[in-house]
Amino acid sequence: MANPPKAFPVSWDQFHRDCKALAWRLAGPGKDKVEWSAIVAITRGGLVPAAIIARELGIRTIETVCIASYHEYKDQGELDVIKGIDSKMIEADGGKGVLVIDDLTDTGATARKVREMLPNAHIATVYAKPKGCEMADTFITEVSQDTWIYFPWDMEMGYVEPISGLKDG
């Protein structure tokens, strides 16, 4: 029997701190600072970090690209582009000066699809797995490929089994 995936639950507080850390990194030091013209949020996971980063960096132009890759919250399958990028301004110069934001790059397939649309954009994710790291220009935390990240919008309060699988009591 295969080992179950490792669990990495992320609280709202932790996610907010990680998004702010990503914003700090994207703000860049001195001469390397980029003037970002817009954000493209990859939905749905990129919506919350895009809002936080837009606030922190003072970016008002936000577009979405809607790509479904996870089905039933467990299996990553075929990519389905539900809504493309609608703004000609964002697509100008291949997305130069545009930040593409997502919560996670897992295999890199979604980021690769967006890179085809905006080859000069900067792709930033809060979390990255080894197979997806090369597709993110900037990320905050790397987790192992066999880790399942439980984002705060996917969780409710309740009992969680210990890592050992043994019940307390």
Catalytically annotated residues: 102-103, 106
User: What CA–CA distance (Å, rounded) separates 37 from 163?
Assistant: 44
Number of H helices, E strands in the chain: 4, 8
| Residue 58, number of CB atoms within 10 A of its CB | 8
Strand 62-71 versus strand 122-128 pairing type:
unpaired
User: What CA–CA distance (Å, rounded) separates 1 from 102?
Assistant: 33
